[in-house]
Structure 1
Amino acid sequence: MIGVTVLTRYVVASSVWVLLLVLVTPVSVPTVLMAQPASTDPQPLSLDDLAALDALLEQDAEDGPTEFDRGAVLDVAGLGLVLAFAVFSFLKKSEPLKMVSLVLSVVYLGFTKASLVSVVDVFGALRWRLPAFQDGPAYYLLIVFTLASTVLWGRLYCGRICAFGALTQLMDRVLPARLRIEPPAWLDRRLVYLKYVVLGVAVLYFLSSGDTLVYRYIEPFWMFTRSGDAVMWALLTTLLLATVFVRNVYCRYLCSVGAGLGLLSNLTVFRIKRWGECDTCKLCEKTCEWGAIDGPKILMSECVRCDDCERLYADEDKCPHWLIEKRAAGQAAKP
């Protein structure tokens, strides 16, 4: 019995040791050979492939710009022609050419393209949210021209390019003069600051709310899209009726874009020449439709370079400067 017991203990002990050895001995894992990916090295193009590629490139070159590109090119070309003609008419100081320029602005920039500088552009600049250049080259051409021309000559955009301003100037040419009411000088000098209030309130409202749709109620430019609600149409009707009696009432007193350009026009390089006789002469001041002349001083923030006073300066039969010179020359010629 003792031998059996010892033998049993030996077998059990041996079994335990075998189990321990099995548990603690690392199992050798056979190495598995994974399928190797096929080579990704590019294969050289054959002569036939190269010929096909050349044919595709030639076809693309023949096709030229896409329809979108053609539209963008036409927009830039059309806008460029209108701007170029406006500058040409301005430099020539011609009243008939100016009228043609105003008509072009209304028809093309207004009712055809509805392309005007807006307070919304000011909002975009404040938040640096501007369209990509490739999406709007004509937009950037108009903005750059407006800023550059203002620095060079003053509010030329307001006087010739803006479609709404051009429309009100044309209205003034066809409406009977007897309907016109001129605000007294003291009132006019105060009303011109109202547009700066409109600009300031609009900017503060935008910065606090992020709402750009406020432009619909402070600008009439949407009229060229012929899309507005009842309130907008009512405001527009009121504004146009007021324009019948007070010339350029929106441009002079309410336009936020005009306010911004008025501030910039203080940097104008090529200003209107003044004669020594302008200190006492009131002829141009009475002629100015924009209230931009105060005695001998031209208010650049209000002047839209309409040419009226400059044509008078050049008129040797009306301007006192030339009349005085003629008289002096005549007296000097006498023996």
Structure 2
Amino acid sequence: MTSTPSRLVLAVGAVLLLCLVAGVAVPVAVQAQQPETPPPLSLDDLAALDALIDEDEDTDNAVAQFDSGAVVDVAVLSAVLAFALISFKKRSEPLKMVSWVLSIGYLGFYKASLVSVVDIFGALRASLPAFQDGQAYYLLIAFTLASTVLWGRLYCGRICAFGAVTQLMDRIIPSRFRVDPPAWLDQRLVYLKYIMLGSAVLYFLASGDTLVYRYIEPFWMFTLNGSTLMWTLLTVLLLATVFVRNLYCRYLCSVGAGLGLLSNLTVFKIKRWGECSTCKLCEKTCEWGAIDGPKILVSECVRCDDCERLYADEDKCPHWLIKKHVVARAAKVG
């Protein structure tokens, strides 16, 4: 049997052995658990990081350029729309012609941005441009809709670039070439644009094809990019417009049809005098066929302000002439 001192020595030895084992094993285990120090970056790694940093900077610059470009587009478009509105409120023929030139130059050839039947297609399938990518687009659409509800087809009369082209043609081409359709024919031809609009929408809903617009709208001409057939059709249309003023706008424009329907909600309509029920002066002056006796056909009126200038002319409008005659006669009697 082992003596007590021997047992004590053995116990102390066992404890020391355990401490020795622990002293060696624990540091090894801790060292094993610590992550290895990553190797230093190579030149290729540093070059890749520099490329990523440059790419981020390029992206930031592109975003900044996009934002500044969008601001410029909105600012210039706002100026064009504001000028058109001022020319309308002033009822000024020279200002209206300047507005046409601005629309042709900026909205036409520079931006090729006109309200189109394609916008109706996009609304029907809820596929419109993202707002952050199309602030100017939404400004034009909002102005067109709001101005139509307020005053009628103001867009057609002053802002549409193609409409501006045909109206300038009417000012330049001698009147001896003009052929005015008889009233009975004109009253029927105006419905063609509604047929065009309905047919285009039905075709789109059935096929999903938006490219049909290129054959029912001449607005692509401002891009100077069209097929032989498209240029041929455009040439025929413009030649016909030499003889029949505003031919496309009056009889064939799908956008005009849509805005014509919306214009039935117009708030600020053209005022009429009591004498308008018998006077035909404005009706004969209107180049859009939008006056029928005392009635303004709001769906056809583009607020060209020709009749409104005549309406306010105290030397031509029978309302004022009769009023002057009554006043003069009363003065003589008195």
Give TM-score scaled by structure 1 length.
0.81
Does 2:254 match 1:241? no
Q: Distance in 2 between matches of 1:162 and 1:243?
A: 16
Tell me by how many angstroms 1:65 deviates: 6.7
Tell me by how many angstroms 1:37 deviates: 9.5
Q: Give the corresponding residue for 2:213.
A: 215
Q: Distance in 1 between matches of 2:34 and 2:287?
A: 82
- SS of structure 1 residue aligned to 2:186: helix
Q: Give the corresponding residue for 1:164.
A: 162
Tell me by how many angstroms 1:36 deviates: 7.4
* 95, 98, 109: which one aligns with 2:93: 95
Q: Give the corresponding residue for 2:178.
A: 180
Tell me by how many angstroms 1:321 deviates: 0.3
User: What letter corresponds to residue 265 of structure 1 in structure 2?
Assistant: S
Q: Distance in 2 between matches of 1:142 and 1:324?
A: 43
Q: Give the corresponding residue for 2:135.
A: 137
Runs of 4+ in 1 over 2 A off after TM superposition: 35-38
Does 2:329 match 1:331? yes
- SS of structure 2 residue aligned to 1:148: helix
Q: Distance in 1 between matches of 2:135 and 2:305?
A: 30
Q: Distance in 2 between matches of 1:233 and 1:102?
A: 23
Q: Distance in 2 between matches of 1:262 and 1:37?
A: 78
Q: Distance in 1 between matches of 2:34 and 2:106?
A: 63
Q: Give the corresponding residue for 2:18.
A: none
Aligned residues: 281
Does 2:286 match 1:288? yes
Q: Give the corresponding residue for 1:79.
A: 77
User: What letter corresponds to residue 187 of structure 2 in structure 1?
Assistant: R
User: What letter corresponds to residue 256 of structure 2 in structure 1?
Assistant: G
Q: Distance in 1 between matches of 2:76 and 2:224?
A: 21
* 124, 144, 147: which one aligns with 1:146: 144
CA deviation map 1:28-79 (0-9, x unaligned): xxxxx9x8798xxxxxxxxxxxxxxxxxxxx9xxx89711111111111111
* 100, 109, 118: which one aligns with 1:120: 118
* 300, 314, 319: which one aligns with 1:316: 314
Closer/same/farther in 2, CA of residues 187 and 36 from structure 1, 3 Å limit: farther
5+ long unaligned stretches in structure 2: 1-28, 36-56
5+ long unaligned stretches in structure 1: 1-32, 39-58
Q: Give the corresponding residue for 2:21.
A: none
Tell me by how many angstroms 1:198 deviates: 0.3
Does 2:284 match 1:273? no
Equivalences for residues 47-58 of structure 1 within 5 A: none
Closer/same/farther in 2, CA of residues 37 and 89 from structure 1, 3 Å limit: farther
